[in-house]
Amino acid sequence: MPTILVVNVNTSAAVTDVIAAAARAAVSPTTGVVALTPRFGPASVESNYESHLSAVGVLDAVQGYAGPFDAVVHAGFGEVGREALQDVLTVPVVDITEAAAHTACLLGRTFGVVTSLDRAAPSIADRLLLAGLSGRCTGIRSVDLPVLELEAAPEVTAGAFVEQARRLVEDGAEVVVLGCAGMAGVHEAVSADLADLRVPVVDGVAAAARLAESLVALGLSTSKARSYATPGPKAVLGWPLR
């Protein structure tokens, strides 16, 4: 039975629970999902500073996990850190930003992203550009709700997402992507409210978990030929972490 580690980028156990539920619902019953919460880092990731801090916490959480695993899902939308995991691991690593965008491109010619805060939009745009997917994205809209408030009032959150999603469709998006791991819990409600538009709604956690499972089944993993070659032995002075 394959095991997928799904790593939250913040230290909120509540967000980790939401991510875990979305991942488990997406994979086969025979695939195990282990959700990890970093033991240190920001409570939520809503800036470049916090994103870089979280990347170290994610590395620590994955490298400190004692059990066997077959793939990793990096559950931070628009956040840094995926490349570092690919450097140090020999199993597939799938980022939810790229997984959601790639999935959306299979479903329509264009897609739009609804995220939590407006300040997250540039980071998401950068990740899509780096992945070569920015040309398919018609826009990134926000609901102006901090990450940790997304689950506080699901009906309000879903309504805000639907409003912005409809605007994305008006602007030409044929697929809507939920641009925050903490939004996984409102995916079904948003999908139902957009049913009249016949527009697919993609949740990054679910897409990444299923893609990671598929890579394991295909026997594929990250290339070690160049960009993500395993780092050589090197002293790291003063490093306080494991």
pLDDT tens for the chain, 242 residues long, are 899 999 999 999 999 999 999 999 999 999 999 999 999 999 999 899 999 999 999 999 999 999 999 999 999 999 999 999 999 999 999 999 999 999 999 999 999 999 988 999 999 999 999 999 999 999 999 988 776 666 655 666 788 889 999 999 999 999 999 988 877 778 888 889 889 999 999 999 999 999 999 999 999 999 999 999 999 888 888 876 65
pLDDT at 36: 98
Assigned domain for 239 exists: no
Assigned domain for 122 exists: yes
Tokens of 202: 């993609």
Assigned domain for 241 exists: no
CATH number at residue 31: 3.40.50.12500
Taking the model in full, what pTM does it have? 0.93
Assigned domain for 231 exists: no
Assigned domain for 68 exists: yes
Tokens of 111: 């897609």
Tokens of 25: 């619902």
Same domain, residue pair 132 and 175:
yes
Same domain, residue pair 105 and 33:
no
Tokens of 180: 């925050």
Residue 10 is which amino acid? Answer: N
Assigned domain for 118 exists: yes
pLDDT at 156: 64
Q: Which domain range does residue 124 map to?
A: 97-205
Q: How many domains does the chain have?
A: 2
Q: From CA 43, how far away is CA 45, in angstroms rounded? A: 7
> Helix 96-107 and helix 121-130: axis angle, to 10°?
70
Residue 24 is which amino acid? Answer: R
CA-CA distances (angstroms) from residue 173 to 43, 83, 111, 180? 32, 29, 5, 18
Assigned domain for 225 exists: no
Same domain, residue pair 87 and 103:
no
Tokens of 60: 């620590």
pLDDT at 200: 96
CA-CA distances (angstroms) from residue 98 to 8, 43, 63? 16, 23, 23
